[in-house]
């Protein structure tokens, strides 16, 4: 507080004491007449003379009390300093100056006061809606009878007071109190405390301003829980708390213990709890706190036990083959430290190896045997809880594909028996065997007999059928199905397939002889054999020996004699052979001695005649019977058969064109003979009589005329007697 001096003009209360003085000698005091000084300050009164060489000064109070100050005089000036100002300085002070005989005096009234800064006091933080007391305090006031105090809220005057009590010489504290109920609109308004101290016509004013802080107590404290108040063991939860209030409340999380005590957890609005255990269930409290209040709310979290289940693998049933290895697995879900035990339903030995680790236990059955055909039970104990799961072991054996056996070769029309065998089956009362030819089921059998004991059995299905060639390339399938005990599951299947190939035994053998089975010695002959069958039969030519045995000759279809001998006569056998059978046939070859050269062709009178002569060309065949005689004249392009009478052809008047080669051919069963001569006609003159020879076929004079049809029948009969004799071939060679 800076020193403050109040100078008051006017001279109403000033005493004037005038002593004799010269005109020139003068005294002044400053300030004049009156001074108002604040207690504790330092003030000075100054007396100054004029018109005197060396004045002397003296200071006193009117009532002659102590000065309570220090005087300092220097030349024409004397200063009275009061430091600090106190109640004892409230006097009328006189300054006397003496100059020789002259004496002057001046007086001044010193009044003191005290007026400190004002204080505003509140009964507490202002809360909306709650009456509160505001106190405006003016400490150490003097003189208290000239004080006026005002209290304002913004522009609104709350209270004013003028203090008029009797004054004692002491510092007193004055205050002004107001009770009001803050509203939210008061926030930011100014609370003003103002005081005026009237010491003179103009009062001294002090003012203190305080900005209004209005608060609201926390309320509407709300907790949101994510994902849920109900949790599973091991789960996590996040809770967020909010609370309304001014200033914004701080959030405190705590947990309510069983005895009601709150255990602090966090000062963060968001509280995340992880790996929750059952013991973490309970009441969680959130409190919103600010300087004027608190509001709390609570939430109950329920941590539920994890659901505990037992699973068994590979399923409720498992089928395992004898000799295989099977692992049954039992898994506990939702249990931290489960304990396992295995047993069979009928409490027989497990016949397997148990291994348990963590949440899993396995039972290994290796190798699987009939002793493992049980219901296995896995019991899991988890704390107080106990669960059991079962698995039905089905033991089977079905190790090999069926075997197909045939009683023999497949031959068309010959019954054959098929035997389909399924080895080492268990349980055979679930076995079904089916035989199929192509798409057609030939036979089907369920083996429903009683099972007497647990053992591997070999089962077979047999059936007989007559193959036909249409069966070739078809598949013969033996399908074995081992049905499961469980109706809905697919049966196990194994199958074997044979592709059918149906043989055909060789059919009747056909032999053809060319040119003829009766031959003249030295002439060639070929015997051709054929036979149908599946597969194509092999051909074997043999000669039948006199003792009836066969002497193999050739495996070619054709047996060729380039030049036959008499010894070649006999029976020749051709066999058609394949795996399905043999067919045979024989043919007789007759070789006859070469006949005498008895055909004669003559020209009479001569082979050389003159034009116009008569010539007889005659062909005679001696004693050979049944001979064809053909008389021909060779032509350039073709031969002309001449019409002869008894083998004689007469040219009445020979012409040059009759010259040429004449041939006589005789044919018998064993061959033909040919004779020829050349006729020469010597020309004399041109003969107009042209003679065209007629066509003629003749028999020898000694033979009978046999009609053509009769010939055919004759040769056909002959062919039948000697085996297969090609009529076509025969005719070709005879005509």
Ligand X SMILES: *[C@@H]1O[C@H](CO)[C@@H](O)[C@H](O)[C@H]1NC(C)=O
Measuring CA to CA, which residue among 389, 394, 418 is closest to residue 320? 394
* Choice between 48 and 295, CB closer to ligand X: 295
Tell me if 219 contacts ligand X by CB under 6 A: yes
* Choice between 243 and 362, CB closer to ligand X: 243
* Choice between 597 and 636, CB closer to ligand X: 597
Which 440-469 residues touch ligand X, going by CB under 6 A?
460, 462
Tell me if 220 contacts ligand X by CB under 6 A: yes
* Choice between 297 and 607, CB closer to ligand X: 297
The stretch near ligand X (CB under 6 A) out of 65-73, 217-225, 328-336, 489-497 is 217-225
The sheet with strand 615-620 has its strands ordered as 600-604, 615-620, 648-651
Closest separation between CB of residue 477 and ligand X, Å?
Answer: 17
Closest separation between CB of residue 289 and ligand X, Å?
Answer: 11
Among 131, 358, 596, 710, binds ligand X (CB under 6 A): 596
Q: What mask of x and - would describe binding to ligand X in positions 707 to 726, judged by CB under 6 A?
A: --------------------
The stretch near ligand X (CB under 6 A) out of 13-21, 100-108, 215-223, 479-487 is 215-223
Q: What mask of x and - would describe binding to ligand X in positions 353 to 372, judged by CB under 6 A?
A: --------------------
The stretch near ligand X (CB under 6 A) out of 213-221, 322-330, 535-543, 558-566 is 213-221
Closest separation between CB of residue 701 and ligand X, Å?
Answer: 14
Tell me if 683 contacts ligand X by CB under 6 A: no
Phi-psi region for residue 33, left (φ > 0), alpha (ψ -120 to 50) or beta? left
Tell me if 605 contacts ligand X by CB under 6 A: no
Closest separation between CB of residue 282 and ligand X, Å?
Answer: 18
Non-local (6+) Cβ contacts of 283 within 8 A are: 255, 256, 298, 299, 300, 301
Phi-psi region for residue 309, left (φ > 0), alpha (ψ -120 to 50) or beta? beta
The sheet with strand 119-122 has its strands ordered as 119-122, 132-141, 172-180
Closest separation between CB of residue 431 and ligand X, Å?
Answer: 14
Question: Dihedral through CA 601, CA 605, CA 607, CA 608, nearest 10?
Answer: -170
Beta-bridge mates of residue 626: none
d(CA 659, CA 678): 7
* Choice between 6 and 406, CB closer to ligand X: 406
* Choice between 187 and 265, CB closer to ligand X: 265
Please say whether the beta carbons of 145 and 167 come within 8 A.
yes
Among 68, 221, 516, 528, binds ligand X (CB under 6 A): 221
Q: What mask of x and - would describe binding to ligand X in positions 552 to 591, judged by CB under 6 A?
A: ----------------------------------------
Tell me if 593 contacts ligand X by CB under 6 A: no
Tell me if 421 contacts ligand X by CB under 6 A: yes
Please say whether the beta carbons of 394 and 412 come within 8 A.
no
d(CA 261, CA 282): 13
* Choice between 341 and 419, CB closer to ligand X: 419
Among 295, 356, 503, 531, binds ligand X (CB under 6 A): 295
Among 135, 296, 386, 585, binds ligand X (CB under 6 A): 296
Peptide bond into 660 cis (omega under 30): no
* Choice between 100 and 596, CB closer to ligand X: 596
Among 419, 472, 554, 626, binds ligand X (CB under 6 A): 419
Tell me 645's DSSP state: B
Closest separation between CB of residue 3 and ligand X, Å?
Answer: 52
- Residue 567 in tokens: 């010894």
The H or E element spanning position 734 is: helix 727-734
Please say whether the beta carbons of 152 and 192 come within 8 A.
yes
Closest separation between CB of residue 252 and ligand X, Å?
Answer: 11
Beta-bridge mates of residue 367: none
Burial annotation 171-207 (CB, 10 A radius, 16+ → b, else e): ebebbbebebebeeebeebebbbbbbbebbeeebebe
* Choice between 175 and 419, CB closer to ligand X: 419
Tell me 248's DSSP state: P
Q: 17 by DSSP, 3-state: which?
A: coil
Closest separation between CB of residue 667 and ligand X, Å?
Answer: 18
Tell me if 623 contacts ligand X by CB under 6 A: yes
- Residue 318 in tokens: 């498992």
The stretch near ligand X (CB under 6 A) out of 172-180, 218-226, 352-360, 550-558 is 218-226
Q: What are the DSSP calls for 18-41, one per residue?
A: -----SS-EEEEES-EEEEEETT-
The stretch near ligand X (CB under 6 A) out of 214-222, 472-480, 508-516, 581-589 is 214-222
Q: CA 353, 357, 359 angle in degrees (round to 5)? A: 120
- Residue 27 in tokens: 């005294």
Cβ neighbours, 10 Å, residue 599: 22
* Choice between 69 and 249, CB closer to ligand X: 249
Displacement of CA 633 from its chain's centroid (Å): 102
Tell me if 498 contacts ligand X by CB under 6 A: no
d(CA 69, CA 53): 26
* Choice between 433 and 505, CB closer to ligand X: 433
Q: What mask of x and - would describe binding to ligand X in positions 251 to 270, judged by CB under 6 A?
A: -----------------x-x
The H or E element spanning position 711 is: helix 708-721
Q: How many residues belong to the site for ligand X (CB under 6 A)? A: 14
* Choice between 198 and 465, CB closer to ligand X: 465
Tell me if 397 contacts ligand X by CB under 6 A: no
* Choice between 218 and 506, CB closer to ligand X: 218
The sheet with strand 70-74 has its strands ordered as 26-30, 43-50, 77-82, 70-74
Taking the CA atoms of 83, 85, 90 and 92 in sequence, report the sign of the dihedral they define: positive
* Choice between 465 and 571, CB closer to ligand X: 465
Closest separation between CB of residue 250 and ligand X, Å?
Answer: 9
Closest separation between CB of residue 476 and ligand X, Å?
Answer: 15
Half-sphere exposure of 444 (CA within 13 A, CB side): 4
* C-alpha distance from residue 728 to each of 515, 666, 716, 731 (Å): 10, 21, 10, 5
* R_g over Cα of the chain: 80
Binding site for ligand X (CB under 6 A): 219-221, 268, 270, 295-296, 405, 419, 421, 460, 462, 596, 623
């Amino acid at each position: 507080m800076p020193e403050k001096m109040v100078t008051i003009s006017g001279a109403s209360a000033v005493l004037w004491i005038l002593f004799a003085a010269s005109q020139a000698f003068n005294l002044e005091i400053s300030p004049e007449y009156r001074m108002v000084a604040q207690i504790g300050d330092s003030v000075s009164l100054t007396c100054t003379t004029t018109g005197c060489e060396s004045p002397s000064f003296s200071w006193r109070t009117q009532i002659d009390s102590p000065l309570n100050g220090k005087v300092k005089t220097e030349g024409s000036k004397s200063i009275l300093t009061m430091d600090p100002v106190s109640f004892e300085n409230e006097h009328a002070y006189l300054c006397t100056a003496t100059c020789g005989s002259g004496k002057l005096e001046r007086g001044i009234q010193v009044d003191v006061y005290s007026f400190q800064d004002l204080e505003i006091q509140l009964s507490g933080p202002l809360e909306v809606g709650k009456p509160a007391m505001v106190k405006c305090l003016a400490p150490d006031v003097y003189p208290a009878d000239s004080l006026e105090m005002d209290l304002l809220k913004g522009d609104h005057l709350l209270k004013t007071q003028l203090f008029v009590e009797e004054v004692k010489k002491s510092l007193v504290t004055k205050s002004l109190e107001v009770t009001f109920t803050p509203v939210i609109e008061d926030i930011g308004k100014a609370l003003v405390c103002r005081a005026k101290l009237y010491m003179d016509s103009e009062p001294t004013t002090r003012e203190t301003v305080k900005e209004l802080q209005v608060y609201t107590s926390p309320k509407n404290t709300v907790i949101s829980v994510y994902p849920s108040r109900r949790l599973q063991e091991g789960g996590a939860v996040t809770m967020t708390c909010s609370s309304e209030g001014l200033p914004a409340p701080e959030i405190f999380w705590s947990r309510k213990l069983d005895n009601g005590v709150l255990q602090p957890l966090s000062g963060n609005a968001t509280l995340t709890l992880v790996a929750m255990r059952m013991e973490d269930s309970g009441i969680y409290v959130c409190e919103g706190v600010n300087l004027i209040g608190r509001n709390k709310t609570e939430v109950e979290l329920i941590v539920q036990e994890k659901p505990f289940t037992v699973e068994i693998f590979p399923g409720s049933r498992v089928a395992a083959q004898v000799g295989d290895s099977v692992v049954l697995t039992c898994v506990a879900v939702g249990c931290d430290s489960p304990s396992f035990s295995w047993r069979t339903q009928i409490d027989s030995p497990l016949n397997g190896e148990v291994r348990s680790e963590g949440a899993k236990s396995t039972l290994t059955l290796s190798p699987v045997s009939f002793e493992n055909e049980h219901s296995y039970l896995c019991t899991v104990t988890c704390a107080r809880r106990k669960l059991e799961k079962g698995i039905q072991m089905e033991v089977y054996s079905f190790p090999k594909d069926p075997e197909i056996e045939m009683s023999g070769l497949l031959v068309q029309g010959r019954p054959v028996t098929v035997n389909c065998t399924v080895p080492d089956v268990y349980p055979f009362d679930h076995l079904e065997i089916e035989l199929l030819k192509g798409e057609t089921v030939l036979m089907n059998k369920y083996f429903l007999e009683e099972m007497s004991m647990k053992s591997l059995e070999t089962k077979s299905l047999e059936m007989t059928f007559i193959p036909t060639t249409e069966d070739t390339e078809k598949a013969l399938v033996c399908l074995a199905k081992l049905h499961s005990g469980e109706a809905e599951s697919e049966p196990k299947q194994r199958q074997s397939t044979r592709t059918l190939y149906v043989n055909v035994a060789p059919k009747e053998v056909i032999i053809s002889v060319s040119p003829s089975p009766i031959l003249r010695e030295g002439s060639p002959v070929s015997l051709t054999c054929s036979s149908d069958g599946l597969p194509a039969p092999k051909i074997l030519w043999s000669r039948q020996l006199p003792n009836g045995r066969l002497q193999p000759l050739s495996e070619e279809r054709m047996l060729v004699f380039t030049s036959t001998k008499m010894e070649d006569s006999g029976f020749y056998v051709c066999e058609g052979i394949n795996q399905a059978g043999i067919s045979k046939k024989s043919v007789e070859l007759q070789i006859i001695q070469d006949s005498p050269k008895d055909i004669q062709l003559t020209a009479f009178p001569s082979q050389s005649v003159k034009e116009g002569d008569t010539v007889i060309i005659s062909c005679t065949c001696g004693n050979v019977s049944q001979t064809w005689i053909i008389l021909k004249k060779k032509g350039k392009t073709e031969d002309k058969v001449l019409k002869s009478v008894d083998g004689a052809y007469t040219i009445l008047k020979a012409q040059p064109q009759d010259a040429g080669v004449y041939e006589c051919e005789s044919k018998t069963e064993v061959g033909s003979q040919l004779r020829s001569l050349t006729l020469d006609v010597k020309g004399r003159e041109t003969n107009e009589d042209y003679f065209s020879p007629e066509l003629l076929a003749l028999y020898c004079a000694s033979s009978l005329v046999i009609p053509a049809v009769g010939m055919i029948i004759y040769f056909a009969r002959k062919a039948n007697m000697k085996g297969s004799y090609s009529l076509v071939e025969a005719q070709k060679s005879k005509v």
